[in-house]
Each structure stands twice: as structure tokens, then as C-alpha cells.
Structure 1
Amino acid sequence: MESEKLEQVWRTVCDQVKSYNNIDPSQINAFFSRLQPQAMSEDFLMLTADNDFIKTWIERHYVDFIKQALMDLYHTAYTVVIEVDITAESSTGGQPRAETRAETPVQNPPFEGRPPFGHPSPGAPSSGDMRNSADAIGGRDERSPGEEPHRRREFAEPDSGRDDFPAPFNAYDDDDGGEGPDGPTSTLTFENFVIGDSNRMAYSMAVAVAEMPGKAHLNPLFIYGKSGLGKTHLMRAIQNYVHETMPSLSAIYVDSAELLSDYMEASAAHDKEKSSYKNFKTRYEEADVLLIDDVQYLQGKKQTLDIVFQIFNKLTGQGRQVVLSADRAPKNIDIDERYKSRFNSGGTFDIQPPEIETKLGIVKSFVEEYKDNEGKADFAIPDDIQMYIAESSSSNIRELKSAVTKVIYQMTFFNQPDLSLDDVRSLLENHFSGGPSKRLTIADIQKEVETFYKVSHADLVGKKRTRNIIYARQIAIYLSRQMLDLPFNDIGKKFNRDHSTVMYSVTNVEEKMKESRELREELEALKQLIREI
């Protein structure tokens, strides 16, 4: 079959699959964009995936749907074969090929990466397990989540003594989980990581490392971003994937605080011949994949850093994989320059605050997981309430999850299934961090900046490049980023600028603030005016 016709047939099959009940079209967009049709005959279809992870996932969860679509369209039983395109995998490091992405029927789906609803990921806890564990990821009691004070009387607070509260699926959480620092963590997988533009590159690189640990250009892999954006989820997903697909390899995850505590215990007697010290070092030196979380906490801990550096050099020198995470880039961690250089010597990728679309996707994923785990197929949170939660929450996904949990509790356990948007605003009025600033918009900030610097809105978002307009524009962009915690792309749309221009503006203001006390005071005055809106 000609290539162009084959592509058309494949698009038709994709559309047919998306039309089925219990299929989320955004999942099809996400996963099927990683497939390429290669050959088709009367009863045979061959597809290639760009890595083994995608091949396995499609075979587990979507092949039957593809066969059904072919039967419905052509009234013939088809054999569907999926192979890995080795050239694509090696050339992209596990990322989708550019040409495949270009052929995706719908670009930039709002969320990706979860298993289709009704198909739990391998090893995922049952609904009973989820109910018995107040937090499905970390095991901590979060049955009355979020900030408590000053709730309106008509909204009852969850009784922390009850043990039957549901624990909606936690797609993002930087808490660790599972069975200890080197145990399996089946709830944190690549399948249930919600992908968006803000984390797509970090996700792709984590998948590449999980599939082929020790590749020089990604060793070490360094992932950084603010707390609650999913760094630990990706690290645990790597560990989980290695445990599942390469059980002969040792994959050890450790948080820096735990690592520091272990080291202090092992070296308490300052005797490096003690068996406890040897056991401490040997455990990490024998890892095939070592994942160290929150390395910024090792600032000022010179002896621990020296040991970590020795272990780091030994493992990478032997071609074994090291993965590190922090809440900031290596260059911004206050450690010796040689550590920064080595930490930055492989692949360094950041996770930005999620876009509104991604946050909305996460909200939907929580709701769907609650429905699946509790067997409540008819349960629904109205779209306007879901959007309100996505728009009002900060970049921290724990806060978003907690808000969804509160709404679910109110609707189910306190028998208020018809909550209105106004009801939810009251319920969550003290929930979101940042208080009133979270109700601000970019338009509010633009208006105050325009008044403060005496420039028009048309000039602020237009093409004029006189010095005073550029200055006001960069200040407005900086404040939008700092006060609203929005992604660069979202800010850029409101200023008719692209992602790189917004990044430059923010960085430029930050650099000038270091040198100018006057600018710092000016910005504080502006922030105060904006907060008073």
C-alpha cells in the first residue's frame, strides 16, 4: 500500500478507536502518535513504535481496540503486529520522532500518559488497598487533607477518625512510597504520570534512562523544578520500570535527608573501618541504578557530599546509572564547583509549573481514578468546578489533589451531590496557597503596571521598543511569572510574545534586582498595589 494511503488508513483507524466508549481520545493522541504504520494487506497491519516502552503498553492495552476498529471498518479479522523501530529509538533517546509528532491528529493534548480508564497499571493497588491507605503514594494519613481553619459552617469537615474515606489516585506527588528506599513503588509509574508541555522533555528523558540505564549522554540524569511538580514521581517511575523489566538490576532510590541520616549513623564513631560505615557505602556502590532525590539538601554537608561524589564517580565510571533531582538547577546549588560540573555533565532537564490544560487533565484523572477505585461509574464533578480548581490551584500538584479530594468528600460522604460553583468557592476559599493573589489575572497585573509606568495597554503588548515600554513590559512579565506561577507560554500569549522572550524578560529582571536596591523597592511597591486589587 502506498505510504500516503497507508497514513490515511491509519488516521481513520485512530479516529475509530477514539469513538469507542471508555476510551479517552487524549490518551489515543498521546500513545498512537508514537506509532508509525509500516505495512498493510487484506488481513495484516504492521506498526512500529519508537521504543519498547510504548510497544509494550500498546500491546497490553490497545491492540484489541485496534483490531476491533479494523473489523468495524473493513469487516475482516486483522492480525496486528508491533515492532520497535531501533533507528528511531537510538536517534531520539526515547523521544517521539519529529515526523511522528507532526502526524498526530490532535496536537498538544491536555493530558497524556495515564492508562486508559478501566485498565489499572501493573501492580496498582486495589480499591480496598487505596481505601485502607490514606495516601496511596506515601502511606501518610491524609484523610482530612488541606488547610482546615475558618471553614463555613454548612460544609462539614471530614472526620479524621473514619477509616473509609477514599483516597483518589495521586498522579503527581513528591512523597516517596512503596516498601522502603529500594523497594518497588508500583503506584508511581510512567503510565500514570500526566504529561504536558511543562514536563514533556523530562518525562521523555526519564523513559530513555529507564529503558537503557547508563547511556553516557544521560548519565547522570538531573531533573529539577519546584516542589510538587513530579520529580520524585519520575524517579520512582524509573526505579519501578527497572524492577519490572530488568529484575536482575539493583535500582536504589534514596532521599538526601535519609542519605544524610544514614551517613551520620554509619560514621558516628569516626571509624571508617567499622562495618556499619562499610555497609553504608557498599549498599550504594553496588547499585546499578542509583536515584538521589532533593540533592539541594546536601548544601553545607561537605563530608556527605564527598562520599556522594565518590559513589557518583565510581558508578558513572563503571557505566552504571545515576539520577539526581533538586528544586533548582545545579548551577544554583551552593556547593563546590566540581560537584556542579559533574552533576551537570549528563542530561539536565527542568519541570516547569503545569499549564492550565495539564492541571485540568490531572483533575480529570483524579476523578476517573476515584470512579474506578470506588466503583462509582456515575459520579461526576461538573466541568466548571473542575476548571475552577485547575485555574485556582498553584503549581504544586499536591494542593490540586487535595482540593479535588475535598470536593469529592463533600459530594459523597456529606451527601451534597449537587454542589454549585459558588459552593465550591466557599469550600475552598482558604485552601489554595497564596491567598488572594491566586485570584489575580495577568490582565490585573498589566493594568497596575500600565498605571504605574504611564504606558498604554496597546504599547505594553504591542511592538514598540522604546526603553520605557520595554522596561514596563519586562516588569509586567516578571510579576506575572512570580505572582501567578504560570508557565512561560501562558504568559507569552497575553503579551503577544513567545516562550523565549518571556524567559529572557524574567531572567533580565532577576539579574537587575541583584544589583539595584531601587528596583527591588519598586517591585515591592508594585506587588503591594497589585495585592490590594
Structure 2
Amino acid sequence: MNSEKLEQVWQEVCDQIKSYNNIDPTQVNAFFSRLHPQAMSEGFLMLTADNDFIKTWIERHYAEFIKQALADLYQVPFTVVIEVDLAPAVPAPATAQRSGGPSETAPTIAGEAASAKTPTPAEPAAPAPPQNSAEHAAPMTTPNLAGTDADASSTADGPAAANPESANPSVAGMENGADGPTSTLTFENFVIGDSNRMAYSMAVAVAEMPGKAHLNPLFIYGKSGLGKTHLMRAIQNYVNETMPHLSVVYVDSAELLSDYMEASAAHDKEKSSYKNFKTRYEEADVLLIDDVQYLQGKKQTLDIVFQIFNKLTSQGRQVVLSADRAPKNIDIDERYKSRFNSGGTFDIQPPEIETKLGIVKSFVEEYRESEGSRDFDIPADIQMYIAESSSSNIRELKSAVTKVIYQMTFFNQPNLSLDDVRSLLENHFSGGPSKRLTIADIQKEVETFYRVSHAELVGKKRAREIIHARQIAIYLCRQMLDLPFNDIGKKFNRDHSTVMYSVTNIEEKMKENRELREELETLRQIIREI
């Protein structure tokens, strides 16, 4: 069979698989783009995968579907063989050749066990999509639900707390040790959608070949609860599993700051303390720093991070950073912004309905597997209600699913109706307009964000930065409070037509300007957390 015909047959097989129930077509598209048909005869198909990760994932999760599709199309049973294509042998990254033997495992990360992580969902590039895990365990006997990317009890990522996107309550004990496997935060249990596909793809690329110049550093940003830490932990897990000779260090900014303060405080008494602090990070082959926005205003710590950053990247060792905003919106020196932006910078947007529904389904499937309850399911209308009602924060969505699961199992109510679930989750979701917010609240946060005074925001000055802040504040008042234009105008000393123009202008700019959308999403998050 010639290659053109083989590709055509393979496309038919893929289309057949996507027609099956309980198959997510977006995941098939992403995963199967990394498979290539090599040979086919009666009852036999040979495929090659880009790497071991793809091969293993396909064999575990899709091999039977491939065989079923072939049998449905050709009415004969098939043997399917998947091999790794080693033809384009890629040289090992510089990091892998830095030392002859295995690197020492990084030291304990304090506070990881106190945090809980949520995964989540963005754009093109080929890597593979898996399924999400859970978080927000209920205060009862907790099933082994996979970890997510945010602290179940926190409403925002705060510098004083352990990283809210890090651990899983069900495996907290495992994560309180060295930088080894971090529970279930892997590429396999990350649900991919249009909102996160590009960030996911780049994370996989870095995990497969750490230290490549065009993705060093890799900077992933997006608001809390969208899956940044899940991707960072997935990189950590993948490198630990496939390249155990490399030293991988994950740290959130709160821990990094604490480490630095302790080392500095002890410096006079024990001169080795400061050296040991730097050595831990400078000897990493892959260094992952989470929530770097919390280092703003911490000049001395930033200087040290900058030194470590420059040393590692100059030696071809990989640095991965995450934040809740783009580098340009972090209040740090321009040289830091420039360096943070010098590799690959990718955002994670709030997930669309389809992705949230996929997360709900994967969470239910994970519960079935962990509990051995293959017949358990949540009705489709309830799953859709949860996906549509939840905010963009995936931890909120997953905790809603957890509540429903416990209501159905622990409280023995397997026949929950949609009305029952509406009552159960009546006060759970934070999405929708806030009734407690005021125009003054929004004005204050916009003034702080853009560094303008209240007099400037509501006054007559027409400097570009002031006009921009004013229009953003008006737009957010209209969107978040749903007030009439006249009522908003009175608080800004503007008339109805000016307010209407401001809203329309921002809406038009958002269509073309991704950075503006990111600014607005950051502001919404800040305002919601008041």
C-alpha cells in the first residue's frame, strides 16, 4: 500500500474512533497527530509514535479503540503494533551531558503537602492530550482522586501560603519529600482544549528536550486555577521518569523567598548557609519556579533569582517560570521582564464549555477507576449543568463534581436529579455578576493596577494611560455589575454616550489584542477576590 493510500486509510480510522461514545475528538486529534502509519496488510497495522510517552499513552488508552475501528471498517480482527520512531535521532540536550553520573535529588520542598493543585486547559502544536484529575477532597473518607492545580481552600494564590497549585490532598504525604514524583500531576491527566493547547504543547516539548534555546526560559501565565502548576509538575515528573540522571528542582516563589530569608539570616553565623541555598538551585538541570509574580517588590531575592537564571540558561540548562500575568504586567525591573520574555511565553486562557465538560467527564472516569465502580456515572444533564455554571477556575468545577459524587455515593442518593444538584450547589459557584461589588470597588482596583489616582480616573485629563484605565474601569463596571450606562456615568462624571463608547471601544480592542484580554482577566480575578 503506497504512503498516500496508507494516510487516507489512517484518517478513516481516526474518524471512526472519533465517532464512538465517550471519545473526546479533541484529544484524538492531538494524540493521533503524533502517530504515523508505516505498514498495513490484512489484519495488521503498524504505527510509529514520536516518543515513548505517546506510545505508552496510546497503548494504554486507545489501542482497543484502534482495533475496534479497524474491525468495524474491514470486518476482520486486527493486530496493531506501535513502535517509537528513532530515525531523526536528536542529540541529547546539554543538560544531560553536564555530568557523568546521576545528579543528586533536590532537597525537600517544605509546604508542598499543604497545597493542592488543579489542572487545566489553549492553541496549536502537536503534543498529546490526556485527562484531568481531582482536588478539593470532601471531609470524609476520600477516594483516590487525582490532584489538581490549586489549593482547595484558598480563593487566590497568596504569597504567604504554600503554592495553591501544587499538591493533591490524597497524596500529600508523598509530596512532602524530595523532588521526586509529584502524585498525579502528569501530562496524561491534563485535559486539553483550545484554551490551553499551545501551553501544553510547549510544556511537552520542554519535557522531552530540556534546554533548547528557543524555549529557554519557558514562561507560562494565566490566572489562578487554570493549570499552570499542573504543567510544571508534569514537566518535573516526565523528566524524573525519562531522564533520571538530570536534577530537577520545583519551587514556588513563597518557598524560594523563605529559603532566601533563612539563608540570609544565618549568613553571619554559618557561612555555608548562603552557599548551600544557591547551590541547590544552581546545580539544577531543570529549574521550575512557580508564581514568580509574588517576587515583585522583593529586590534582593529577585537579584539572586536573576543570577541563578542567567547561570543556568547560559549553560543550556532549562528554566521554567509561571505567573498569573504576562511578564510585562509584573511590577519588576525591565531587565527581568526582558529576560523572562526571552524564550517562549505562552498563556492559558479560561476553558471553554467543551473543555470544562471534558474535565468533568475525566474526573468521573478517574473516580470510577480509583474506586473500581465501573457502573458509576453522573447523568449527562448534571455534567453539563456543572460545566456551564462553574467559573473559569477548574478547582471550583472539580470540587462541584466531588460534592455530587459524595452525595450520590456516601449519602446513598444514586438517583440525584438536576433540581437536587441545583439545590446542592446553590451557593457553590462564583461565576456570574457579583451583587456585592460596587463601582467604587472596581475603580479602586483599576487605579491600583494602572497606577492612576481616583481624581485622574474620574477627572478631565486625557493622557493616553489615563484614558485607557478609565475605559477599562467603565467596561468592567458594565460587565461585572450590569448597571445602566447612566448610573455608571455618574460615578465617572461622564454622560451616557461616553460610557457606551468606552464599553464598545474595549470590546472591539479585545477582539484583536490578546494582551488586553489577559489584562482584563487579571483584573477580574483581582476584583472577584475582594
Structure 2: runs of 5+ lacking an equivalent: 92-121, 151-163, 168-174, 436-477, 487-496
Q: 1:424: which partner in 2?
A: 421
Q: Greater shift after overlay, 180-189 or 501-510?
A: 501-510
Does structure 1 residue 388 correspond to structure 2 residue 405? no
Does structure 1 residue 49 correspond to structure 2 residue 46? no
- Give the Å deviation of 1:351: 0.5
Q: 2:30: which partner in 1?
A: 30
Q: 1:325: which partner in 2?
A: 322
Q: 2:130: which partner in 1?
A: 113
Q: SS where residue 8 of structure 2 aligns?
A: helix
Q: 1:202: which partner in 2?
A: 199
- Give the Å deviation of 1:43: 6.0
Partners of 1:7 and 1:37 within 8 A in 2: yes
Q: 1:404: which partner in 2?
A: 401
Partners of 1:220 and 1:323 within 8 A in 2: yes
Q: 1:266: which partner in 2?
A: 263
For residues 245 and 499 of structure 2, what CA distance do their matches in structure 1 show?
Answer: 63
Deviations 1:487-526 (A, max 9, x none): xxxxxxxxxx89844758858999xx9xxxxxxxxxx9xx
For residues 34 and 198 of structure 1, what CA distance do their matches in structure 2 show?
Answer: 20
Instruction: Give the letter for the 1:114 counterpart.
Output: Q
For residues 212 and 205 of structure 2, what CA distance do their matches in structure 1 show?
Answer: 9
For residues 286 and 274 of structure 2, what CA distance do their matches in structure 1 show?
Answer: 21
Q: SS where residue 265 of structure 2 aligns?
A: coil
- Change over 3 Å in CA distance of 1:61–1:355 after alignment to 2: closer
Does structure 1 residue 166 correspond to structure 2 residue 197? no
- Change over 3 Å in CA distance of 1:336–1:373 after alignment to 2: same
Partners of 1:263 and 1:304 within 8 A in 2: yes
Partners of 1:474 and 1:509 within 8 A in 2: no
Q: 2:225: which partner in 1?
A: 228
For residues 415 and 275 of structure 2, what CA distance do their matches in structure 1 show?
Answer: 61
Q: How does 1:103-142 map to 2 (within 5 A)?
A: 112-114=129-131, 142=136
- Give the Å deviation of 1:420: 1.7
Q: How does 1:77-156 map to 2 (within 5 A)?
A: 78=79, 80-84=81-85, 112-114=129-131, 142-144=136-138
Deviations 1:43-65 (A, max 9, x none): 65443434553234324544465
Q: 1:75: which partner in 2?
A: 76
Q: SS where residue 323 of structure 1 aligns?
A: strand
Q: SS where residue 47 of structure 2 aligns?
A: strand
Partners of 1:166 and 1:374 within 8 A in 2: yes
How many residues align structurally? 424
Indicate which of 201, 209, 213 corresponds to 1:212: 209
Q: SS where residue 47 of structure 1 aligns?
A: strand
Instruction: Give the letter for the 2:210 counterpart.
Output: P
- Change over 3 Å in CA distance of 1:187–1:10 after alignment to 2: same
Partners of 2:43 and 2:76 within 8 A in 1: no
Instruction: Give the letter for the 1:175 counterpart.
Output: E
Indicate which of 338, 354, 358 corresponds to 1:357: 354
Deviations 1:266-305 (A, max 9, x none): 1104439711211111111110000000111111111111
Q: 1:485: which partner in 2?
A: none
Instruction: Give the letter for the 1:332 counterpart.
Output: N
Instruction: Give the letter for the 1:205 counterpart.
Output: M
Q: 1:306: which partner in 2?
A: 303
Partners of 1:50 and 1:96 within 8 A in 2: no
For residues 261 and 420 of structure 1, what CA distance do their matches in structure 2 show?
Answer: 48
Q: 1:473: which partner in 2?
A: 504
Q: Greater shift after overlay, 466-475 or 9-18?
A: 466-475
For residues 221 and 54 of structure 2, what CA distance do their matches in structure 1 show?
Answer: 25
Deviations 1:122-157 (A, max 9, x none): xx9xxxxxxxxxxx77xxxx543xxxxxxxxxxxxx
Q: SS where residue 169 of structure 1 aligns?
A: coil
Q: SS where residue 197 of structure 1 aligns?
A: coil
For residues 89 and 511 of structure 2, what CA distance do their matches in structure 1 show?
Answer: 28
Q: 2:166: which partner in 1?
A: 176
Instruction: Give the letter for the 2:145 counterpart.
Output: P
For residues 519 and 80 of structure 2, what CA distance do their matches in structure 1 show?
Answer: 57
Partners of 1:256 and 1:297 within 8 A in 2: yes
Deviations 1:299-327 (A, max 9, x none): 11111111111111111111000000011
- Give the Å deviation of 1:35: 1.9
Does structure 1 residue 237 correspond to structure 2 residue 214? no
Deviations 1:226-266 (A, max 9, x none): 01100000000000000000000011100110011111111
Does structure 1 residue 337 correspond to structure 2 residue 334? yes
Deviations 1:355-406 (A, max 9, x none): 1111111111111111111122222211111111111111111111111111
- Change over 3 Å in CA distance of 1:427–1:258 after alignment to 2: same
For residues 28 and 244 of structure 1, what CA distance do their matches in structure 2 show?
Answer: 24
- Change over 3 Å in CA distance of 1:346–1:38 after alignment to 2: same
TM-score by length of 2: 0.69
For residues 194 and 30 of structure 1, what CA distance do their matches in structure 2 show?
Answer: 11
Instruction: Give the letter for the 2:166 counterpart.
Output: D
TM-score by length of 1: 0.69
Instruction: Give the letter for the 1:80 counterpart.
Output: V
Partners of 1:51 and 1:86 within 8 A in 2: no
- Give the Å deviation of 1:80: 2.6
Partners of 1:253 and 1:292 within 8 A in 2: yes
For residues 432 and 512 of structure 2, what CA distance do their matches in structure 1 show?
Answer: 29
- Give the Å deviation of 1:436: 5.2
Structure 1: runs of 5+ lacking an equivalent: 102-110, 116-123, 125-135, 145-159, 439-444, 454-465, 478-496, 514-523, 528-533
Instruction: Give the letter for the 2:146 counterpart.
Output: F
Partners of 2:124 and 2:201 within 8 A in 1: no
- Give the Å deviation of 1:469: 7.8
Partners of 1:272 and 1:278 within 8 A in 2: no
Partners of 1:222 and 1:323 within 8 A in 2: yes
- Change over 3 Å in CA distance of 1:342–1:388 after alignment to 2: same
- Give the Å deviation of 1:74: 6.0
For residues 75 and 143 of structure 2, what CA distance do their matches in structure 1 show?
Answer: 44
Deviations 1:63-111 (A, max 9, x none): 4654565466363654634343866999xxxx9998x99xxxxxxxxx9
Q: SS where residue 290 of structure 1 aligns?
A: strand
For residues 357 and 401 of structure 2, what CA distance do their matches in structure 1 show?
Answer: 11
For residues 86 and 474 of structure 1, what CA distance do their matches in structure 2 show?
Answer: 53
For residues 509 and 18 of structure 1, what CA distance do their matches in structure 2 show?
Answer: 36
Indicate which of 271, 293, 297 corresponds to 1:296: 293
- Change over 3 Å in CA distance of 1:214–1:504 after alignment to 2: closer
Instruction: Give the letter for the 2:348 counterpart.
Output: I
Q: Greater shift after overlay, 25-34 or 403-412?
A: 25-34
- Change over 3 Å in CA distance of 1:266–1:205 after alignment to 2: same
